[in-house]
């Protein structure tokens, strides 16, 4: 079954509500005015009969009605009956066929000949022995004309009014929902054309639709950035892999044609080996970055004695202790993955030497500052220009690719940043060209 749209549902809902309210209002008016007119009629009956009572008398044993007696006044018939209940004066209305017994002083409805009458009797004693019954009869009033007219007008006007308000309400709802329709169609267009550069028009104001539209736009912008980054990553990775493959291919061709002597063949093999190592390192880095991205790197979390670990990593470095200076605050622990953190620190130390001066120094410092554990690697090397400092964390970024002949492809720091994130921390960099750089890992002292 097809569900009606929200606009239609809202319109149906309040239209039904309006119909219900109009019906209740009209019913209420009908009841109130009906009872008001009945009360008025009964008062009139009472008044007329009482007025006539004073005009009834007896003279010489004969009923006397003076000139003010009204047999018919304003719809009220007044009849005079003998004690034996035979009609002495007055005219019974044609339709009143009921044989209603007399009851003194009580106004009551009596249905006769399909019409409702109100009947009021009074016993009027005229002397010691006898008296007469004076009966008032009034045909029950129909609803007053004003009310009938009002009802008729309301019955015509109300449906028109309800129709108009339903239509108006629907148009307003459609207008209000238009931004949503637009968001939906733009999102559908983006989906169909796979064009993430398109944006939804943000309606003016700060209402729900405006917020929804700008949230959508932020999401599209994010998606666009990550798609671009993904494409860039694939292009860079292919490019980086193509170079060693091309070198290996041409080395093989050269060896086939000219590699006659064992010496030449050994040289070619050594070159192929170097390129294969480079590719293998690159593929390894790509794999770990992807695994870290996807969270599938099988991390082995443990409570790590960070101080002992840092001392161990520093001790394993092949350089002299004069060049690598370690200042480790004792007894610092954290929750982390030993292998990943080793990869992080190794990368920073390797870079510090790679981009350092020939006989430069590297300082590894581990300390606690407030709620943070700080692990920094400082060098007195070439430094990084301010405008490039944000970019060093991007994949495949190299400030000066000619310096990375030794194998790097610009993935090391991207991986370092990723490892810091995995540990609930982040990396910071301070650097001055010509003076050196300090890379710092910030870890929460109470690990997540």
x/- contact string, 339-358, with ligand ADP (CB under 6 A)? Answer: ------------xx--x---
Q: Is 237 in the site for ligand ADP (CB under 6 A)?
A: no
Cα–Cα dist 212/207, whole Å? 9
Q: Which stretch binds ligand ADP (CB under 6 A): 24-32, 309-317, 323-331, 412-420?
A: 412-420
Residues 345, 375 contacting (CB under 8 angstroms)? yes
Cβ neighbours for 28, distance < 8 A, ≥ 6 positions apart: none
Q: Is 422 in the site for ligand ADP (CB under 6 A)?
A: no
Give the residue with the Cβ less far from ligand ADP, 49 or 411: 411
Give the residue with the Cβ less far from ligand ADP, 132 or 413: 413
Q: Which stretch binds ligand ADP (CB under 6 A): 214-222, 234-242, 326-334, 407-415?
A: 407-415
Provide the pairing of β-strand 372-379 with 362-369: antiparallel
SS3 57: strand
CB of 245 to ligand ADP, least distance (A): 19
Cα–Cα dist 327/320, whole Å? 15
Structure tokens at 290: 């992807």
CB of 340 to ligand ADP, least distance (A): 16
Q: At what angle do helices 338-354 and 306-315 cross, to 10 degrees?
A: 40
SS3 325: strand
CA 338 to chain CA centroid, nearest Å: 43
Residue burial 241-271, b: 16+ Cβ < 10 Å; e: rest: beebeebbeebeeebeeebeeeeeeeebeeb
Give the residue with the Cβ less far from ligand ADP, 336 or 410: 410
Cα–Cα dist 278/364, whole Å? 27
Q: Is 324 in the site for ligand ADP (CB under 6 A)?
A: no
Q: Is 392 in the site for ligand ADP (CB under 6 A)?
A: yes
Which of 314, 382, 427, 441: binder of ligand ADP (CB under 6 A)?
382
Q: Is 381 in the site for ligand ADP (CB under 6 A)?
A: yes
Q: Which stretch binds ligand ADP (CB under 6 A): 9-17, 121-129, 226-234, 382-390?
A: 382-390
Residues 220, 202 contacting (CB under 8 angstroms)? no
Q: Which stretch binds ligand ADP (CB under 6 A): 160-168, 179-187, 243-251, 377-385?
A: 377-385
CB of 335 to ligand ADP, least distance (A): 26
Which of 332, 411, 419, 441: binder of ligand ADP (CB under 6 A)?
411
Report the sign of the C-alpha dihedral through residues 198, 200, 205, 209, in that order.
negative
Give the residue with the Cβ less far from ligand ADP, 15 or 365: 365
Which of 136, 336, 410, 425: binder of ligand ADP (CB under 6 A)?
410
State the greatest distance between any 2 C-alpha atoms of the chain, in Å, as a whole number: 172
Q: Identify any residues that bridge with 344 across adjacent strands, giving them in sequence order.
A: none
Which CA distances in Å does 86 have to 78, 99, 127, 131, 343? Answer: 14, 12, 18, 12, 126
Which of 209, 412, 417, 423: binder of ligand ADP (CB under 6 A)?
412
Give the residue with the Cβ less far from ligand ADP, 216 or 233: 233
Which of 11, 288, 398, 418: binder of ligand ADP (CB under 6 A)?
398
Q: Is 413 in the site for ligand ADP (CB under 6 A)?
A: yes
Cα–Cα dist 36/32, whole Å? 6
Binding site for ligand ADP (CB under 6 A): 351-352, 355, 379, 381-384, 392, 397-400, 404, 408-414, 437
């Amino acid at each position: 079954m097809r569900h009606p749209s929200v606009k239609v549902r809202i319109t149906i809902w309040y239209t039904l509500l309006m119909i219900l309210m109009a019906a209740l209002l009209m019913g209420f008016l009908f009841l109130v005015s009906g009872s008001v007119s009945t009360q008025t009629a009964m008062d009139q009956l009472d008044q007329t009969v009482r007025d006539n009572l004073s005009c009834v008398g007896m003279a010489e044993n004969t009923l006397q009605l003076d000139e003010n007696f009204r047999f018919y006044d304003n719809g009220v018939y007044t009849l005079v009956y003998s004690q034996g209940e035979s009609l002495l004066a007055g005219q019974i209305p044609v339709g009143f066929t009921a044989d209603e017994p007399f009851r003194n002083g009580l106004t009551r409805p009596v249905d006769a000949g399909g019409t409702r009458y109100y009947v009021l009797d009074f016993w009027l004693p005229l002397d010691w022995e006898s008296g007469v019954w004076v009966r008032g009869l009034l045909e029950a009033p129909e609803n007053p004309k004003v009310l009938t007219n009002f009802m008729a007008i309301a019955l015509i006007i109300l449906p028109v009014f309800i129709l108009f308000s339903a239509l108006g309400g629907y148009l307003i709802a459609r207008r209000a929902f238009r931004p949503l329709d637009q968001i939906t169609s733009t999102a559908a267009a983006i989906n169909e054309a796979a064009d993430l550069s398109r944006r939804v028009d943000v309606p003016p104001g700060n209402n729900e639709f405006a917020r929804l539209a700008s949230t959508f736009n932020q999401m599209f912008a994010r998606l666009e950035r990550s798609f671009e980054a993904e494409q860039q990553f694939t292009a860079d990775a292919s490019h980086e892999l193509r170079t060693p493959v091309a070198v290996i291919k041409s080395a093989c061709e050269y060896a086939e044609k000219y590699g006659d002597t064992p010496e030449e063949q050994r040289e070619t093999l050594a070159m192929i080996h170097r390129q294969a190592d480079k590719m293998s390192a690159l593929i390894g880095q790509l794999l770990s970055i992807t695994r870290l991205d996807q969270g599938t790197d099988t991390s082995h979390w443990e409570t790590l004695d960070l101080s002992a670990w840092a001392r161990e990593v520093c001790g394993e470095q092949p350089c002299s202790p004069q060049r690598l200076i370690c200042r480790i605050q004792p007894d610092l622990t954290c929750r982390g993955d030993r292998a990943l953190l080793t990869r992080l620190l190794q990368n920073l130390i390797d870079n510090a030497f790679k981009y350092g001066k020939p006989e430069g120094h590297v300082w590894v410092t581990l300390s606690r500052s407030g709620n943070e554990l700080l692990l920094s690697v400082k060098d007195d090397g070439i430094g990084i220009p301010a405008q490039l400092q944000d970019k060093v964390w991007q994949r495949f970024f190299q400030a000066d690719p000619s310096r990375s002949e030794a194998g790097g492809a610009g993935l090391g720091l991207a991986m370092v940043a990723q490892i810091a994130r995995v540990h609930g921390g982040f990396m910071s960099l301070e650097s001055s060209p010509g003076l050196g750089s300090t890379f710092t890992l910030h870890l929460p002292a109470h690990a997540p």
